[in-house]
Amino acid sequence: MKRASLAAALMVICLIVLAACSKAAKEEAPSPTPPPAAKAAEPSPATAPAAPASDKVYVCPMGCEVSDHPGKCSKCGMDLKEENRADVAFVCPVCGFKAAQPGACPKDHTVLTLEIAGKPL
């Protein structure tokens, strides 16, 4: 009788151990891997191509300067006037040399005169 109860006790212990083991095994089941962190924002593909030159230019009414941006003349402070780039020319009054920017004629060093659409201001 004593031996039988010992065997029963051992069996119970075995069952408890087995139960504990199986429970532990279940708890150790790998947890689902967390979703990978959101991918870091990718750098924008190749830098945007340089904006094409606008067909507008901003010209000082006095002919001091031509700029690609509106604003005031850096020399005389007047508001720059928007004009079509194709209409703007700096022309030598002596020989007719034309340039896109103010300056002096390379031939006779005369200061170039601003013309808009072929007409002097």
Kindly tell me which residue out of 57, 66, 80, 92 binds Zn ion, with binding defined by CB under 5 A: 92
Helical H runs in the chain? 2-27
Kindly tell me which residue out of 75, 82, 84, 98 binds Zn ion, with binding defined by CB under 5 A: 75
- From CA 91, how far away is CA 114, in angstroms rounded? 6
Residues with Cβ within 8 Å of 74's Cβ and at least 6 positions away in sequence, in order, are 64, 65
| Residue 97 binds Zn ion, judged by CB under 5 A | yes
| Residue 116 binds Zn ion, judged by CB under 5 A | no
Q: Which is nearer to Zn ion, 55 or 79 (CB)?
A: 79
Applying CB under 5 A, the residues found at the interface with Zn ion are 60, 62, 64, 73, 75-76, 92, 94-95, 97, 105, 107-108, 110
